[in-house]
Chain A
Amino acid sequence: MKLWSKLMCYCRSRSPWIFHMNSGSCNGCDIEIVASLSPRYDAEQLGVRLEGSPRHADILCVTGPVTHNAVQAIKTVYGQVYGPKAVVAIGSCPATTNVFIDSRTLAGPLHKHIPVDVFVPGCPPRPDAIVLGIAKAAQILAARGSKPLVAAAEPEIVGDPGENCVSCACSSSEVQA
Chain B
Amino acid sequence: MNILTMLWKNLWGGSRTMLFPARPIVSERYRGLVRFDPALCSGCAICRMRCTARAIEFKAGKGEFTWSYEPGQCTFCGRCVEGCKEHALSQDSECPPIYTTPGELKKSYTIARKQTVKPAVVPATAAVAGQIEQAANPATGGAQ
Q: Which residues of A contact B (CB under 8 A)?
A: 39-42, 45-46, 92, 95-96, 98-99, 101, 109, 111, 116-123, 125-126, 128-129, 131-133, 135-136, 140, 158-159, 173-175, 177
Residue contact A132 to B98, C-beta cutoff 8 Å: yes
Using known A-B contacts A40-B18, A41-B17, determine if residue A95 contacts B72 with beta carbons closer than 8 Å: yes
Residue contact B75 to A99, C-beta cutoff 8 Å: yes
Stretch at the interface among B1-9, B99-107, B112-120, B134-142: B99-107
- Which B residues lie within 8 Å of A135 (CB)? 20
Residue contact A101 to B16, C-beta cutoff 8 Å: no
Partner of B53, one of A98, A116, A118: A98
Nearest chain A CB to B70 CB, angstrom units: 7
Question: Which size class do B's interface residues fall under?
Answer: 20 to 34
Could you tell me the dominant secondary structure of chain B's interface residues?
loop
**Could you tell me the distance between the alpha carbons of A45 and B24 in the complex, rounded to whole angstroms?**
16
For the complex of A and B, the 9 pairs showing the least CB-CB separation, nearest first, are A42-B17, A123-B75, A121-B96, A96-B73, A99-B53, A128-B23, A133-B98, A175-B20, A95-B72
Residue contact A122 to B101, C-beta cutoff 8 Å: no
Other A-B pairs, 9, CB within 8 Å; known A92-B75, A174-B20: A42-B18, A95-B72, A95-B102, A98-B53, A116-B102, A128-B23, A131-B20, A133-B98, A140-B100
- Which B residues lie within 8 Å of A39 (CB)? 15-17
Closest to B26 in A: A126
Residue contact A123 to B76, C-beta cutoff 8 Å: yes
Nearest chain B CB to A100 CB, angstrom units: 9
Residue contact B21 to A129, C-beta cutoff 8 Å: no
**Could you tell me the distance between the alpha carbons of A132 and B19 in the complex, rounded to whole angstroms?**
12
Partner of B72, one of A92, A136, A173, A175: A92
**Could you tell me the distance between the alpha carbons of A42 and B19 in the complex, rounded to whole angstroms?**
8
Q: Mask for B53-97, Cβ within 8 A of A = 1, else 0?
A: 110000000000000001111111000000000000000000111
Residue contact A125 to B52, C-beta cutoff 8 Å: no
Using known A-B contacts A42-B17, A45-B20, A125-B95, determine if residue A159 contacts B100 with beta carbons closer than 8 Å: yes
Using known A-B contacts A99-B53, A122-B95, determine if residue A40 contacts B19 with beta carbons closer than 8 Å: no
Residue contact A119 to B23, C-beta cutoff 8 Å: no
Residue contact B99 to A121, C-beta cutoff 8 Å: yes
Closest to A140 in B: B100
Sample 5 A-B pairs with CB under 8 A, ordered by A number: A92-B75, A101-B53, A118-B100, A119-B98, A123-B76
Residue contact B73 to A158, C-beta cutoff 8 Å: no
